[in-house]
């Protein structure tokens, strides 16, 4: 009985120490060290509205950036829509304790759904991933840069009402357009330049729900160093064969075997999943689950043979 009551008292204690502004989220944040900046941002107009109603009247998870995380992020700028999109990207409409996060990355919906910043099928909110690495929980957000680690949880499982708060060491970054991610990673400069040559960049960035299978520069060498340069038409066909479109997030988690539509009509791509690897066409995925504004990038080890 006492053991059963303890969590309830713990939750009440969080609320009773607070300054009691009448706003449960702000009051709860007042009682947690290291979240002063987050509290002051959320307590100010126009962001206070984000703390009212759903999901905070039910289950929720907040990845709460520490004061240091805000210091490191610097000025958030003046674009309130963008700041709201970023703040809501830290909130899940479900309670996810750290014990539910495993070594296998899992992806869940946030409540960040402004169409200016997310372009997934069915007007879905943007996704965030989480996985455990040596007992540390890391968050897969839009910060993907080669050799840079993802933000991590520095204090987990602070119970607040029906929800939970995990303090993280960096502000999460909204997943960016595909071309922005490719630009930020030199490994994809050939792919980007070929997409540009075939005038496919805007089309790709504008797709609603895309999975780009991205060969690195080295993987393109057989094409870029070939004596006979492919025509723009042939090149477009090859590149379009690397884009699965119109489907919600094809993360490697729980993906079934199957064929998926590409930008080349009637030329679907075979996807084979085993416990150890993911094979698309005749290429292997070697760096999966890079989040973008409109879906995902998986790095692959070769250019997929796309026969006309
Ligand atoms: C993209 O292609 C245009 C010509 O169509 C060229 O002027 C521009 O420099 C290219 N940009 C990149 C990043 O390759
Ligand atoms: C969009 O939602 C409808 C209805 O819930 C569902 O049938 C369809 O598969 C969804 N589309 C995508 C791309 O997820
Ligand atoms: C996919 O098919 C392969 C055989 O080609 C099989 O070994 C594997 O278990 C299948 N994976 C799933 C997720 O069904």
Q: Partners of 215 in the beta sheet?
A: 300
- Does residue 275 line the site of ligand 3, with CB under 6 A? no
- Ligand 3 center to 274 CA (angstroms): 5
Residues 6 or more apart from 253 whose CB is under 8 A from it? 104, 105, 106, 107, 289
Q: What is the mean pLDDT of the chain?
A: 90
Ligand nearest to the CA of 250: 2
Q: Tell me the C-alpha distance between 115 and 120, whole Å.
A: 9
Query: Which of the four pLDDT bands, split at 50, 70 and 90, describes residue 19?
Result: low
- Domains of the chain, with CATH numbers? 2-168 (2.30.180.10), 178-300 (2.30.180.10)
Q: Stretch 172-178: mean pLDDT, rounded?
A: 97
What residues are in contact with ligand 2 under a 6 Å CB criterion? 121-122, 209, 247-248
- The per-residue pLDDT for range 180-190, each reduced to its tens digit, is 999 999 999 99
* Predicted structure pTM score: 0.89
pLDDT tens, residue by residue, 101-155:
999 999 999 999 999 999 999 999 999 999 999 999 999 999 877 778 999 999 9
Q: Residue 274: CB within 6 Å of ligand 3?
A: yes
Q: How far is CA 181 from CA 49, 56, 257, in A?
A: 31, 32, 27
Query: Degrees (nearest 5) of the Cα angle 203, 294, 270?
Result: 80
Mutate to test the pocket of ligand 1, among 179, 196, 224 (most ligand atoms within 8 A of CB): 196
CA dihedral angle for residue 273, residue 276, residue 282, residue 287, rounded to 10 degrees: 100
């Amino acid at each position: 009985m006492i053991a059963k009551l303890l969590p309830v008292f713990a939750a009440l204690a969080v609320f009773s120490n607070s300054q009691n502004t009448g706003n449960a989220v702000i009051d709860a944040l007042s009682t947690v060290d290291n979240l002063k900046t987050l509290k002051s941002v959320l307590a100010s107009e126009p962001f206070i509205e984000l703390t009212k109603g759903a999901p905070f009247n039910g289950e929720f998870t907040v990845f709460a950036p520490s004061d240091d995380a805000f210091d490191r992020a610097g000025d958030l700028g003046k674009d309130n829509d963008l700041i709201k999109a970023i703040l809501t990207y830290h909130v899940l409409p479900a309670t996810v304790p750290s014990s539910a996060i495993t070594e296998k990355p899992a992806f869940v919906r946030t409540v960040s759904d402004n169409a200016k910043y997310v372009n997934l099928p069915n007007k879905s909110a943007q996704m965030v991933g989480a996985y455990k690495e040596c007992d540390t929980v890391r968050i897969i957000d839009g910060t993907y840069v080669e050799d840079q680690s993802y933000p991590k949880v520095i204090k987990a499982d602070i119970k607040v009402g029906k929800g939970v708060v995990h303090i993280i060491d960096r502000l999460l970054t909204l997943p960016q357009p595909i071309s922005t991610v490719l630009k930020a990673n030199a490994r994809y400069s050939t792919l980007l330049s070929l997409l540009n040559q075939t005038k496919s960049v805007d089309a790709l960035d504008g797709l609603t729900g895309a999975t780009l299978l991205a060969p690195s520069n080295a993987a393109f060498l057989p094409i870029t160093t070939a004596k006979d340069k492919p025509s723009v038409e042939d090149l477009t066909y090859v590149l379009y064969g690397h884009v699965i479109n119109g489907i919600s997030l094809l993360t490697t988690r729980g993906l079934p075997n199957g064929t998926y539509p590409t930008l080349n009509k009637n030329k679907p791509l075979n996807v084979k999943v085993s416990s150890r690897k993911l094979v698309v066409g005749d290429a292997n995925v070697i760096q999966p689950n890079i989040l973008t504004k409109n879906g995902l990038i998986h790095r692959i080890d070769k250019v997929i043979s796309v026969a006309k």
